[in-house]
Amino acid sequence: MSEEKKADEPPQDVAEDNKAEDAVPVLPPGVKPFFVSDSHAQKLGMKTGEGIVDLLPSKFFNKEEQIAQVVELGFMCAFDPVMKEMKECPVEEFLVVTDTDSKFGEMFLLYYSGDAITGFTDAARIEEEKRMAEEKRLADIAAAKAAAEEARRNAVYVDEPMKSKLYVSESMEATVEEVKNEQINHERPLLSLSIGRNLSSCGQKLQLGDRDHDQTGIVEWQKTRFPEFDMNRMERDIGTQAAPEVGEGSTQTKWNRPVNMTTQYTAMGTGAGTSTSTGSGPDEEVPEIDMDSLAGMLNQTLGSVEAALQQNETVNIFTDAMAMVGDDDGAIGSKMENQLKELRNFTDLDFSKGKALSCIDWHPNKKGVLAVSVCKTMSFDERVEVSGQVDVAYVIIWEFAEWIKPQLVLQSPQECFSFKYNPTMPNIVVGGCYSGQAIIWDLNEAMADIEKKKLEKKSDKNGEDNEEQQPPVQPTAMSYIDTSHKRMVADITWLQPDCQINSKGQILAPEHLDDKTYQFMTIAGDGQALVWDIRYIKIFKGEFPHIFKPKSSNSSKNMKEGTKIPWLPLFRMNVKRLEGVGELSLCRLLSNLKSVEGDDTDKRSHILATSEEGDLVYADWRAKRKFAGKGDDDDDGANDVPEFVQWMAKDHNRPCVSLQQSPFFEDMILTVSDWTFNIWKLGHPKPVFSSPDASTYLTGGRWSPTRPGTVLICKEDGCVDVWDFTDSSYKPSATLMTTPSRITSMEFLTGKTATAKQQLLAIGDVVGSLHVFDVPRNLWKPVTNERNIIHNFFNREIKRMDFAEKRQHAREEEYSKKAAEEPEDDAPPPPQLEEGGGGGGGGDEGEGEGEGDDAGIMAEEEAYKNLEAKFIEQLGLTADDLPPGFDLSKVGVEE
């Protein structure tokens, strides 16, 4: 249909009204409309007024009388048109009804059948009853109002004592049930902690001291500016009964008047007979310079002067320090390029300001999206005071396109010190809570709302930007607290898609795997490593029998309607020490270990972890049972404990804060602790490289994702040390300033979203600021053949370790042989060698090594005695001047 035709058509509502007007209602049976003039209506007694519609609603007429009127008057009678219908009326009286709206074409209707008359009279009676009931209701309401008003005016107040009554409410039971559901019912006793003084400190004498007179009353402590030092003091009122007397005094002090003074001098002569006037006397002779002494002085200082000149040649002291300022095209590797460029700085005033960012994770698929977990900066004592109280914590998701407010906020009932995006399904985020529980969020619905708002904002070009913050995303599920960790979840990691396991820890067959990962592992200080599956509901219902077969008594069919399915760990591994005594308090986890070239071992079930005691632990959850039974499926071997831990080594003296595998060398591991960091090679009992002690606490570390020989270490003072092993291995190659506060987390952008032209580094600090830096080119661009250089460096360190260990074994064997041949009193002390250091003969090996070392030691001892004797003789020391018991005869000096 064309636009013109549509314009000619009337609106839809107007057309419907026209149709309603054209439609003629159906005439009921036994009823016939007829015309009655105004004068005839007056004669029939139907008129009630002068108006046309001033008529009686209805009136009965005698059939015989009206028929007689029609016979007598003919067409002059009002009922002449309905003569036939009147004769057919079976009753003595017929009914005439007034229709003022003329629905059937005329204003008067003749009801001549018995059914029609009965139906009309019944309907009229019902309407009359309704009208009378409504009038009665209105009259009752008016009477009640009048009675209330009269009672108010004539009210009599009697002062009677109040009587307590039981409170009864219709919603009381529902309220009690709602409050009961909101309460937290503990299913295990709460952890308690008792802190007190040592018994030895009780009953000690208290020594009081004087205080200045101007400090009476309120004692005030000034607040420190150190952000991590938060000590709140309450003002105290102090009353005193007596105060020491205060007196004033004065004394005279010596004052020296400042005077300007000068010194006059002249050069000394270098030849005989040289003289000059010095102002002290006429023609006073100047002493000559001894040329031999001058030559001796120059010979003595020649080495120092030559070294200084060589240093000036090495370092140009005349270089303009400001020459490179503002030059963006400087050479690669210049010092001006060793500065981090801050691209973004995110801080939320409501959720993160003043709180520590404990963990950072980049979105695996979307560029410019990263998430941080927010935790309170509380001491242990403060956490003890608030333990057991209900609190709310958040995980904030930021997007580069939005600086002011976060993209999403994930809400948690407990603080999450670690969390991870699902690498294959980024809409799933899992975390570990302070209470030891695992938590999961599903972002599909929230992201759909965000996209919908973006489309609405884009379509509404003239609309104002009144977009509100997306409400916090509530967790989809939270694990059952009784079966979770007993301590805070310290670390979390997702298992690879080809490493999905069943409830017994066995890796699933390929036909049960796909390209997605559904399971993750958590560790805590309770010595447990738990594996969780996000499909726990389907597993509980028995949809995955190859993972877990639920018992019939625990199936979902036997559960009551409305009962929530608990989220329980799929697999549990209790990590204990190799001695079999004591649990390991795990703090960092590394799974998905890659196999090294030449090693065919399946390492999919191997994990590497660190403990709070500073141990490095290598474990396998598919380890064999400790005691051989008849079989894994037999009852005799059901109680055997598997030996999960395969290898342990001492790493640090304090807990590890970072654990990462090298992206270039699968067997190289980085561990960072409070003061040092180590680089390990899997299979070696000691670290390949140990750094020197730092000047401040270390808070984390990461391998460079693009340079094999670069490690970045973040510190408490807000700086990042760059260790470039192609440059030096005894100190950092550069120190980068990032934030004035303590760094709490650091993470590189890696994976699909990383680009080859830029490297991004995210750093979180203790005050709640998230910084995103652009790493300088010379710090992420690898040097030529860097991988081989670092590979050779690590091989040399390994050879040094092996050589030092062999030398130590050789010395111990020599000592045992000498101890067996010589008497016990004359036996030499056991040799001790420094790690990596060689003593005595340097690089000699074999059986003649010990003889050469002994000869060198005797020669050094003899030289030392001669030097000591010469020293005593030159100083003229006697036996009284020397320490008691010192024998002068041993150094060749007579007493």
Phi/psi at 20 (nearest 5 deg)?
-65, -35
What are the contacts of 43-48 at 24+ separation with CB within 8 A? 43/78, 44/78, 44/96, 46/96, 46/98
- Per-residue pLDDT, averaged over 162-183, amounts to 85
Residue 834: pLDDT over 50: no
Cβ atoms of 732 and 677 within 8 Å: the answer is: no
Tokens 């031999």 found at: 292
Asked whether 375 and 360 are in contact (CB, 8 A), the reply is no
- DSSP letter for 454, please: H
Mean pLDDT of 731-759: 90
What tens digit of pLDDT does each residue of 54-106 get?
888 888 888 887 888 787 777 778 788 888 888 788 887 888 888 877 777 78
Q: Which of 421, 477, 469, 419 is nearest to 446 (CA)?
A: 469
Helical pair 786-821 and 849-875, crossing angle rounded to 10 deg: 80
Check residue 507 and report its DSSP letter: B
CA distances from 227 to 13, 224, 234, 354, 821 (A): 72, 8, 19, 9, 65
Tokens 């699933």 appear where? 508
Q: Given a cut of 90, is residue 478 above it in pLDDT?
A: yes
Flag the least confident range among 370-384, 437-451, 596-610. Answer: 596-610
Cα dihedral 864, 865, 867, 870 in deg (nearest 10): 170
Helix H, strand E, coil C: the string for 338-362 is: CCCEEEEEECCCCCCCCCEEEEEEE
What's the rounded Cα separation, in Å, for the pair 745 and 768? 11
**Confidence check: pLDDT of 842 > 50:** no
Cβ(403)–Cβ(346) under 8 Å?
yes
Min mean pLDDT across 1-10, 145-154, 544-553, 797-806 is at 1-10
* Calpha distance 157→259 (Å, rounded): 102
| Rounded distance between C-alpha atoms, residue 220 and residue 427, angstroms | 52
Confidence of residue 314 (pLDDT cuts 50, 70, 90): low
pTM: predicted TM-score of the whole model, two decimal places: 0.56
Cα distance from N-terminal residue to C-terminal residue, the chain: 135
What's the pLDDT at 712? 94
DSSP, residue by residue, 145-174: HHHHHHHHHT---------------TTHHH
The answer to whether 371 and 397 are in contact (CB under 8 A) is yes
Matching residue, tokens 């981090």: 340
Rounded to an integer, the average pLDDT of 563-592 is: 85
User: Nearest-5° angle of CA 523, CA 524, CA 526?
Assistant: 125
List the single range of 215-219, 409-413, 588-592, 702-706 with lowest mean pLDDT: 215-219
Task: Kindly indicate the confidence band of residue 855, based on its pLDDT and cuts at 50, 70 and 90.
Answer: confident
Q: How far apart are CA 654 and CA 332, in angstroms?
A: 39
Measured distance CA(413)–CA(475) in Å, rounded: 9
Q: Are 698 and 705 in contact (CB under 8 A)?
A: no
Burial 549-565 (b: 16+ CB within 10 A, else e): eeeeeeeeeeeeeeeee
Kindly state the average pLDDT of the residues 220-241.
Answer: 59
* Three-state secondary-structure class, residue 274: coil
Query: Average pLDDT for residues 823-839, to the nearest whole number?
Result: 50
The alpha carbon of 758 is separated from its chain's Cα centroid by a whole number of angstroms, namely: 26
3-state secondary structure of 305: helix
| Cα separations in angstroms, 584 against 257, 547, 625 | 74, 28, 19
User: Rg for the chain (alpha carbons), in Å?
Assistant: 50
Helix (H), strand (E) at residue 451:
helix 444-459
Task: Provide CB contacts within 8 A for 716, sequence distance 6+.
Answer: 696, 697, 698, 699, 742, 743
Nearest in space to 359 (alpha carbons), one of 343, 346, 375, 348 = 375
pLDDT of residue 245 exceeding 60: yes
Instruction: Provide CB contacts within 8 A for 565, sequence distance 6+.
Output: 536, 537, 540, 556, 559
Identity of residue 508:
L
Asked if the model's pLDDT at residue 210 lies above 80, the reply is no
Here the tokens at position 103 are 């629905």
Minimum mean pLDDT among 234-248, 345-359, 511-525, 852-866: which range? 234-248
Mean pLDDT of 344-364: 90
The Cα 864–Cα 892 span in angstroms is 12
**pLDDT score of 269:** 58
In the chain, % helix, strand, coil (3-state, to 5) comes to 25, 20, 50
Say which residues have a Cβ less than 8 Å from residue 749's Cβ, sequence separation at least 6: 362, 370, 759, 760, 761, 762
DSSP 858: H
CA distance 789 to 724: 12
Q: How confident is the model over 266-297, as pLDDT tens digits?
A: 666 555 444 444 444 445 565 667 788 888 88
Nearest partner of 748 among 825, 689, 670, judged by Cα = 670
Nearest Cα residue to 718 out of 688, 696, 687: 696
Closest-CA residue to 416 (of 376, 364, 470): 376
- State the Cα–Cα distance between residues 236 and 255, nearest whole angstrom: 45
Of the listed ranges 30-44, 204-218, 519-533, 767-781, the one predicted with least confidence = 204-218
**Strand runs (DSSP E) across 686-786, as ranges?**
689-690, 698-703, 710-715, 719-724, 734-737, 743-748, 760-765, 770-774
Q: How far is CA 524 from CA 361, 428, 460, 587, in A?
A: 20, 22, 50, 6
pLDDT band at 658 (very low <50, low <70, confident <90, very high): very high
Q: Is the pLDDT of residue 622 over 90?
A: no
Residue 811, strand partner residues: none
Tokens of 304: 């120092």
The region that residue 728 occupies, defined by phi over 0 for left and psi between -120 and 50 for alpha, beta otherwise, is beta
- Separation of alpha carbons 819 and 808, rounded Å: 16
Band the pLDDT of 336: cuts 50, 70, 90.
Answer: very low
Q: What is the DSSP letter of 576?
A: B
pLDDT at position 769 is 92
Residue 734, φ and ψ in degrees, nearest 5: -155, 155
Amino acid at 625: R
**For 838, phi and psi rounded to 5 degrees?**
-110, 140
d(CA 700, CA 715): 7
Cα angle: 709, vertex 357, 497; to 5 degrees: 65
**Which residues 6+ apart lie within 8 Å of 609 measured at CB?**
523, 529, 575, 584, 586, 587, 588, 589, 590, 616, 617, 619, 659
Q: How far apart are CA 45 and CA 36, in angstroms?
A: 12
The mean per-residue pLDDT over the stretch 859-864 comes to 84
Read off φ and ψ for residue 438, nearest 5 degrees. -100, 145
Least confident of 30-34, 137-141, 697-701, 735-739: 30-34
Tell me which DSSP letter residue 785 carries. T
